[in-house]
Chains A and B, each alone.
Chain A
Amino acid sequence: MSGEVVLELAEVTKVYGEAPPVRALRGVSFTVRRGELAAIVGPSGSGKSTLLHVVGTLEPPTSGAVRVGGVDVAGMGDEALSRLRAREIGFVFQQFFLAEHATVRENVADGLLYAGIPVAERRERADRALERVGLAHRASFRPSTLSGGERQRVAIARALVGEPSIVLADEPTGNLDSATGASIMALIDELNAAGATILVITHDADLAERLPRRIRVLDGEVVADTGVAP
């Protein structure tokens, strides 16, 4: 891997609560370069969800440095962090989180809502993102009329529409049957081949096996990293 570093964690810790404190992350360090497709894999309670939240700047680390797109997030205020999320980070969730009363196109376009992009351009880019996930023909449907796999594709299109530095996919196949899950993973492969940097967070070791790089997390620590860049 030779791309620039889009995500860098250095000795990141996260401690919740006070008495007794829960040490969810205990000094996690790794880097992700542009164009990578990696899995963060670990059982429930291993700290991978906390890791996702810290990487996604939804929660600040207790100590250590998180750099997204080369920018250290430490000390950033709410406005700056929100801008960073709007432009540099795309999220895909297990539960899709689609707005049921809005069309598929509007759902995808909402991925750009907080990036300060005018509505016409948002719709245009939403249509292109939907083409990339193979759902151009469903643009004016409501999410409730779609299958689970299609709904997750919509969510992926929403994460991709702003062309973020990194896409964080939290158990993207968790709510899908295995065949549909496989098609979603194929889509993720495809999008990665086209240039997207994607970090998949999963408890599923088999699923993680199929990805080029696996970062194993256990008890808040990275216990194995198969593909540390040279």
Chain B
Amino acid sequence: MSLGDRVRVASVGLRARPLRAALSALGIAIGTAAIVAVLGLSSSSQAGLLAEIDRLGTNLLTVEAGQRLTGGEAVLPVEAPARLTLLDGVRDVAHSARLEDAHVYRSSEIPVAESGGLQVRAASLGLPAVVGAGVARGRWLNAATARLPVAVLGASAARRLGLGPGQRIWLGGRWFEVAGVLAPAPLAPDVDHSALIGYPAARVHLGHVSAGGEDGPPSTIHVRTDTGRETSVQPRLAATANPQAPSEVSVSRPSDVLTARAAAAGAFDSLFLGLGAVALVVGAVGVANIMIISVLERRSEIGLRRALGATRRQIRAQFLGESLLLALLGGVAGVLAGAAATAVYAAAKGWTVVIPPEAWAGGIGAAVLIGAVAGLAPAVRASRMSPTAALRTG
């Protein structure tokens, strides 16, 4: 028999009862769709995060004051940023100092305790450029506004306060004008949650005492290295920032957190994967059930085919083929549905759609395997049926 004949004969049952075929393939379709969607979504969200990391750059390092050996918070030297700027491989440095005693409120009427988890930071003028946070609305500080009671809000801070440029905030016991709002800075979450003012303004209006110099001492220094130099620069930062007590300096690479999150996003949800597997098993039982019924119902067809000259092997191939076709239809429909679900969700999230080959190939492969397993016993049974017994039941 030619391949066309084989497919035609194997699909006789499906063409005769399309609704039944569709329903019995549905279980396999649901299982495959679940598995493809779980794998597709985790891959797509991972790809989304990796693209984000790529955009933000992995060459940002953060230098923070750590703990003193004797306990208590360490302080970075005021001259640390200047020293770091001179370090080979460092492209740009910006810093900010958290003003522990100052808090920011929407208005003077808000109880002091409700600070909303927001920080007040004095910032160097290069901060947004270095941490990669653009100005979303209004404008960033300049040399003039850095001396005035003017603040710029981080993205989360602006959202929480519900305020924007041109409005006033109650900051450290007096009104500050909001000049602008920054775009989100995933690599510098501290900046996101802060109201930022100039160092001079902190000194003049809030009485922030610096140990000396104009700007400082900083509590966080952001270092942008030349591309690819971050790993060589990182080990030298602590000693450069505080030569007297390098152990009191903590250095981190914020993109590592995002990378870890991306890895976590890539780890698929085993619960849903398990549910998909259960649906596949249920689908397999459905297909096996339908094949057994089909063989019983079609005894006279089997007898006729034997009389027309079909061998046992051809009968077996017919019913095995029918089961495979059924499972394959379910598998293909499931892969398409899972891919569509992934595409819709990824599009809504702005991710690139990634459906790993092992998801769709594995989905279809699993479906075919299920078809083979579910169809084998009924097919063997059909082939062993006595042709005369099969003909008598007509």
Contacts and interface: CB of A to CB of B under 8 A. Distances in A.
A95 B5 contact: no
Interface string A107-132: 00011011110110000000000000
Interface in B276-312: 300-301, 303-312
A119 B9 CA distance: 12
A100 interface: yes
Contacts, number: 75
Contact of A91 (B4, B15, B308): B308
A119 B5 contact: yes
Interface stretch (A30-38, A61-69, A76-84): A76-84
B309 A97 contact: no
B259 interface: no
Given A58-B388, A101-B15, A114 B308 contact: yes
A225 to B, nearest CB: 24
Nearest to A155: B304
Given A97-B394, A101-B16, A113-B9, A86 B308 contact: yes
Interface in A51-71: 53, 56, 58-59
A119 B394 contact: no
A144 to B, nearest CB: 12
Contacts of A59: 386, 388
Interface of B is mostly: helix
Contacts of B306: 58, 82, 85
Interface residues of B, number: 27
Contacts of A82: 306, 309-312, 314
B336 interface: no
Interface in B1-55: 1-2, 4-5, 9, 12, 15-16
A97 B304 contact: yes
A56 B307 contact: yes
A81 B257 CA distance: 72
Contacts of A85: 306-309
Nearest to A87: B309
Nearest to B9: A113
Interface residues of A, number: 30
A100 B13 CA distance: 11
B388 A114 contact: no
Contact of B311 (A79, A94, A115): A79
Contacts of A99: 12, 16, 301
Contacts of B309: 82-87, 113-115
Contacts of B305: 114
Interface centre among B9, B309, B386, B388 (most CB of A within 10 A): B309
A53 B73 CA distance: 99
A53 B392 CA distance: 11
A109 B121 CA distance: 88
B317 to A, nearest CB: 12
Interface centre among A79, A82, A87, A115 (most CB of B within 10 A): A82
B388 A53 contact: yes
B20 to A, nearest CB: 13
B382 to A, nearest CB: 14
Contacts of B15: 101
15 contacts: A83-B309, A85-B306, A91-B304, A91-B307, A93-B391, A95-B394, A97-B301, A97-B303, A97-B304, A97-B391, A111-B308, A113-B9, A118-B2, A119-B5, A158-B308
Interface of A: 53, 56, 58-59, 78-79, 82-87, 89, 91, 93-95, 97, 99-101, 110-111, 113-116, 118-119, 158
Given A97-B391, A97-B394, 20 more contacts: A58-B306, A58-B307, A78-B312, A79-B313, A82-B309, A82-B312, A85-B306, A86-B309, A86-B310, A87-B309, A89-B307, A91-B307, A93-B391, A94-B394, A97-B300, A97-B301, A99-B16, A101-B12, A101-B15, A110-B308
